[in-house]
Amino acid sequence: MDTKLKVAKPWRAWICFFLAVNLLSIPLFAALAAILHSNGSLEAVKAPFVENFKDTSVFETQTARYFSLLLGLANENETVEDTQIAAAKRILNQEGNNLRYYVLNPDIGLNLGNLDEEPLYLNPGEMPGR
């Protein structure tokens, strides 16, 4: 009968322990950060799993922010600084191809958008046809 003394390797045990703690704690901290980032609301955590994302408050809030930003640029009566325009462009372009926008303010000479062609202009008070 062959007997051999097995030498314990404590570094393997420590590596396994370290990996197990990380695998369990990282998702926990990520979920906690998501909840804290959304001001304690679970709506932001549930939003990606909803069937129609457009019905969520997260989508409505983000769309309202974009609309407010564009409306603010369109209604500006004084000269807008280039840094404000660059910041607005950066925020709007973060959506990539998901968001099409166009702002024209002839009072300050602002023409900002990511459309391939010039949109049709309407008379004041007119709604676009479908």
105 and 63 part of one domain = yes
28 and 67 part of one domain = no
Contacts of 127 (CB under 8 A, 6+ apart): none
Provide the residue range defining the domain that includes 36.
13-46
CA dist 96 and 79 (Å) reads: 27
75 and 90 part of one domain = yes
pLDDT for residue 130 is more than 50: no
pLDDT tens, position by position, 20-65: 999 999 999 988 888 888 777 777 777 778 788 788 877 888 888 8
Give 79's pLDDT tier (boundaries 50, 70, 90).
Answer: low
pLDDT tens, position by position, 87-127: 888 888 887 777 888 887 878 788 888 877 777 766 766 66
Global pTM value: 0.56
